[in-house]
Every structure is written in C-alpha cells, then in structure tokens.
Structure 1
Amino acid sequence: MKTIGVLTSGGDSPGMNAAVRAVVRKAIYHNLNVYGIYQGYAGLMAGNIKKLELGSVGDIIHRGGTVLYTARSEEFKTLEGQQKGIEQLKKHGIEGLVVIGGDGSYRGAQKLTEHGFPCIGLPGTIDNDIAGTDYTIGFNTALHTVIDAIDKIRDTATSHERTFIIEVMGRHAGDIALWAGLAGGAETIIIPEIGFKLEDVVGRIKSGQKRGKKHTIIVLAEGVSSGVDFAKLIERETQLETRVSVLGHIQRGGTPTAFDRVLSSRLGGRAVELLMDGKAGRAVGMEKNQIVDYSFDEVFSMPHKIDESMYRLSQELSI
C-alpha cells in the first residue's frame, strides 16, 4: 500500500486532530502518501480531497474540533453514494482509508470494506458508546468540561439554596453523566441504561433536607428526559425552586486533555500499521491500556454496557 486517506465523520470530539496528525505523520514516516478528505463522507463523494504533508498537521495536536471538518450524509448510506465515494478514492489513488467517528461512521467504513475498499475505524465520539474500547476519543475531555461546569453550578446552588438539574449529552449512553456525576459529587445521577423512579429522586432530596442540606445537584443524561421537563416534575413533588443548566455543545469543544491526545496518537498510529499489514474492516481501541482491534461486525455485536458498580457507588456516596 502506497497511498492512504483519512477523514472525520459525525459529531466532532476533542482529540480528532491529534488522531489525524498521528495518521498523517505515521504514514509519511513509512513513506506513504496521505490524503485528507474534508467534510466526512459528504466530502468524499464530492471529491473534496487534498494531499497532506508533515506541515499540514503541524500545531493541531492541541486543538479541539477537526481540521478536516465533519458532516453527516444520508446519501452515503445508499449504494449509489458509496460507489461515488469509491470512484473518488480511486481517482486519487487512495488504497486504504482511516475513518475517525462513531457508530454511523463505522457503518460507512464497513460498507466500503465490503465493496473491497479497506478501511480502519477509530472511535471518535464524546459519548464513550463504542464497543471494543474502554475509552473513545474525546470522552475524557468532555468529562473535564462537565465536571468544571458542575463545580461552578454548585457554588450558585449553595448560595441560593436551590436544586439544579444539569443536562448532559448522552442519548443512548450514560457514561458522561455517570462519570461526571460521581466526580462532581452529584446527589442523583440519571442515565438511560437504568432510568429512574421519581419517588427515589424526591426521597433523596428530602433526606438531604432533613440533615440540613440546602441544595441538590442532579446530573441528567439527555436520553432520559429534557432538563426542563424533569425540573417540572421535581418542583411539583417537592415545591422547591429548581433551575436547569443544559450544557449542550460546549461538551464537544475545547482543548483535548493529555489523555485524549495520547489515546488519539496511539490509535492513529496503529490504524496505519493495520493498513500496511493488509488488514481491513477493523476498529481500533484501547482495553486495559493495550491497543486492540476488532472487526466491525464484532464491535456492532457487542452492546455498550454501563459500569453498574460505579452507579451503585455514586448512590452510596451521595446519601
């Protein structure tokens, strides 16, 4: 293999640039040509492809977002769209592709592999919801962003003696809410994998009041309920003034942590090695601090699981 491509797809996450940098520089070190594909699969079909050099990825390891930009594409889910993409890859002499993104990005890479075009996937999503890896690129940074917000909101909650609902990202996975809630000392954590009983949430608030506690922090994953709707339930049951903070897309931005930079670099380097070894249809991850890879089929067949022991611990510590 002499020429490879790299693209980022789906939602952006801090550390994607570090992964792109690792792919480009690892490839050039081994005398490969590298092309950057801009705007994800949409850009691939449109032929928005440029050759990258060492300097193309200089000074990006510390930057959030993705210098290759990203987009979602319904057209690429069709056979016609995939064939358009392959035509562009062939036009530029690209023989293998590294795709950085989440579940949808992996499925696009799997389709290309099935059409005979080798792809390797890197888990780029803040939700930490990709199987086959302990951590996804961007999760650690997003976690620090949420914890910082919780710490600041607690100051206000304490000063005004209020209940605060902090809504965080996570439609189907509660990792951000669980980890940030535990680290931020939240009284209640609500995640889609477990759900909630309103009477239990209210009971915790009232129990805290009895021992003199004048504020409450509830971390809520967006996949369970909106913060506004949940706050109405709490006010109805407790008659307590309740405020809502929806952190939204602030969780996706920011300078990647050292952990995310190192993780991205290790995964990106391994992706190039797999392509050089003639491997295809593999998803790279990290388990127990070791770099591993699984077939896309294996990743899709392994359900994402929350660490329920952490959830139980959070309940025990927030009595």
Structure 2
Amino acid sequence: MKRIGVLTSGGDAPGMNAAIRAVVRKAIYEGLEVVGIFHGYQGLIEGNMELLTLGSVGDIIQRGGTKLFSARSLEFRTEEGQQKAIEQLKANGIDGLVVIGGDGSYRGSMTLTKNGFPCVGIPGTIDNDIPGTDYTLGFDTALNTVIECIDKIRDTATSHDRTFIIEVMGRDAGDLALWAGLAGGAETIIIPEVEFDMEEIVEKLKSGTARGKKHSIIIVAEGVMSGSEFASHLMKHANIDTRVSVLGHIQRGGSPTGRDRVLASLFGARAVEVLLAGHGGRAVGIQNHQVVDYDMNEAFEKGEDFDLLMYQLSKELSI
C-alpha cells in the first residue's frame, strides 16, 4: 500500500479535523501518500480530491467542522455511482480509504469493501449511535455545548417560574439527550429508547410546584418528536404553559474538547495501521478505555446497547 484516501461524510462533528490530521500525519510517518477527498462520496464520484501534505493539516486540530467538507450523495446509493467511485479511486492510485462519519457513511464504506476496495471507518457523529464503540467523535463536544445551554436556560426559567422544553439532536438515539439531561439536572428526559408516560410527567411537574420549585427543565430528543409538538401535548394534557428552545445545529459546531481531540488522534492513527495490515471492512473505536478495531458488519448486526441504568438513575435523581 502506497497511497490512501480520506473523506468525511454525513453530518459534521467536532473532532473530524483532528481525525483528518491524524490520518495524514500517521500515514506520512509510515511512508504513505494521502489524498483528501472533498464533499464525501459525491466528491469521490466526481474526482474532487488533492494530495495532502503535513502543511495541509496544520492548525486544524482545534477547528470544528471538516476541512474536507461533507455532502450527502444519492448517486452513491446506486450501483452505477459506486462503480464510478471505485474507478476514481483506482485512477488516482488510491489503495485504501479512511471514511470519517456516521452509520450512513459506514454503510457506504462496507459497500466499497464488498466490491474489493478496502475501507476503514472512524466514528464521527454527535449522536453517539455507532455500534462497537463506547463513544463517537463529536459526542463529548456536543454534550458540553448542550449542558452550557441548559445552564443558561435554567437561569431564565428560574427568573420567570417557567417550564422550559429543550429539543436536542441525536436522530434516533437518545444518548445526547440522556447524558445532557443527567449532567444538567433536567427534571424529565424524553428519549426514543424508552416510552414516556405523560401522566407521570405532569404529576412530577405538579409535585415540584407544590413544594415551591421555581422552574422545570424537560429535555426532548428529536427522534421522539419536536419540542413544539411535545409542548402542545403537555398543554392539551394539563394546560401547562411552557417555552421551547430548539438548540439545532449549534450542537454540531465549536472547537472540539480535549477528549474529542485525543480520541480523533487515536482513531486516525489506528485506521492507518489497519489499512497497512491489509484489512478492510473494519471500524475503529474505543471499548473499555482501549482503542480497538472490529468488523463493521458484525457490529451492525449486533446493534447498539443502550444504558437503561443511566436512564433509571436520571429519574431517581430528578424526584
């Protein structure tokens, strides 16, 4: 193997730039060339790429977003598009590919591997929903962003004796909502993995008011419903007036935390090592504080584990 490619795909996440940097510098250290592919799989199909040097990835470890940009590609989902991508890889002398992204990006890399082109995935998504790794790049940064917003919203909620509903990202996974809700002291956390009981929520709100509580914070994961929808249900159910804050894409931005920078560096280096060992169809991650690589197909077949004990603890501490 003499030349590898690297791309970012799907939603951006803090730490992607740090991972790109690690891939490039580790590969160059090992005597490889690295080609950066712009705009994800669509850029790969179009041949939008350039050779990266040590200087190309200088001063990006602290930057959010992705230097290589990202895009979703409907064309890549077709056999014709996949064949174009493989032809571009071969034409540019690329022997292996590092894909940084979420589950959709991973499935694309598995398709390329099945077609004889070795790919390794690095989990880059704030949703923390990739099977096989305890944490994904961007999750810690997004978590801290949400916690900071909760703290600020709590100040105004207290000042006005109000219940605030905060809608957070996470798609179909509740990790971001659960962790942020627990760390931010939310009274109620609504996540896709557990069915909520509106009667129980109303009772908790009324009980808090009865003992003199000045505010309440409800965290709603977007995978359940929007914050506005939940506010409407609450109003119909108990005539409780609320204010809704949708944090939106602010959760994806910002300089990555130290934890995300370190994980990105570890993941990027391991991905290069896996390709050098001649393996494809694998992903890197962290399990029990150890950096690992594992078979993508097996991980997705097994699925993701959800921490029900943490959810139960959040309920016990919010009485």
TM-score by length of structure 1 reads 0.99
Q: Aligned equivalents of 2:72 and 2:299: distance in 1? A: 21
Secondary structure of the 2:22 match is helix
Secondary structure of the 2:11 match is coil
- Write out the 4+ residue segments of structure 1 that deviate beyond 2 Å after TM superposition: 235-241
Relative to structure 2, which stretch is displaced further, 289-298 or 139-148?
Answer: 289-298
Aligned 8 A contact 1:125 1:139 in 2: yes
Cα deviations across residues 18-51 of structure 1 (Å, max 9, x unaligned)?
0000000000001100000000000000000100
Cα deviations across residues 169-188 of structure 1 (Å, max 9, x unaligned)?
12210000000000000000
1:72 has 2:72 as partner: yes
Q: CA deviation at 1:150?
A: 0.1
Cα deviations across residues 250-290 of structure 1 (Å, max 9, x unaligned)?
10000000000000100000000011111111011001110
Q: Aligned equivalents of 2:300 and 2:51: distance in 1? A: 32
Corresponding residue for 1:139? 139
Secondary structure of the 1:224 match is coil
Q: CA deviation at 1:305?
A: 2.4
* Partner amino acid, structure 2, of 1:121: G
Q: CA deviation at 1:299?
A: 1.7
Q: Aligned equivalents of 1:236 and 1:108: distance in 2? A: 44
Mapping of residues 109-188 of structure 1, within 5 Å: 109-188=109-188
Mapping of residues 1-319 of structure 1, within 5 Å: 1-319=1-319
Q: CA deviation at 1:236?
A: 2.8
Q: Aligned equivalents of 1:77 and 1:239: distance in 2? A: 47
Q: CA deviation at 1:240?
A: 3.0
Aligned 8 A contact 1:99 1:109 in 2: yes
Q: Aligned equivalents of 1:162 and 1:304: distance in 2? A: 36
Q: CA deviation at 1:235?
A: 2.3
Secondary structure of the 1:212 match is coil
Q: CA deviation at 1:156?
A: 0.4
Secondary structure of the 1:245 match is strand
Q: CA deviation at 1:225?
A: 1.1
Q: Aligned equivalents of 1:254 and 1:135: distance in 2? A: 18
TM-score by length of structure 2 reads 0.99
* Partner amino acid, structure 2, of 1:138: G
Aligned 8 A contact 1:122 1:284 in 2: yes
Relative to structure 2, which stretch is displaced further, 209-218 or 298-307?
Answer: 298-307
* Partner amino acid, structure 2, of 1:151: D
Secondary structure of the 1:313 match is helix
Q: Aligned equivalents of 2:115 and 2:229: distance in 1? A: 46
Q: Aligned equivalents of 2:218 and 2:296: distance in 1? A: 36
Relative to structure 2, which stretch is displaced further, 260-269 or 294-303?
Answer: 294-303
Secondary structure of the 1:208 match is helix
Aligned 8 A contact 1:171 1:192 in 2: no
Q: Aligned equivalents of 2:233 and 2:202: distance in 1? A: 10
Q: CA deviation at 1:215?
A: 0.9
Q: Aligned equivalents of 2:92 and 2:193: distance in 1? A: 44
Q: Aligned equivalents of 1:130 and 1:152: distance in 2? A: 30
Q: Aligned equivalents of 1:124 and 1:306: distance in 2? A: 19
Q: Aligned equivalents of 1:241 and 1:203: distance in 2? A: 15
Cα deviations across residues 157-204 of structure 1 (Å, max 9, x unaligned)?
000000000000122100000000000000000000002011011011
Q: CA deviation at 1:212?
A: 0.7
* Partner amino acid, structure 2, of 1:227: G
Aligned 8 A contact 2:132 2:304 in 1: no
Secondary structure of the 2:7 match is strand
Q: CA deviation at 1:302?
A: 2.0
Q: Aligned equivalents of 1:220 and 1:235: distance in 2? A: 15
Q: Aligned equivalents of 1:156 and 1:233: distance in 2? A: 23
Aligned 8 A contact 1:15 1:138 in 2: yes
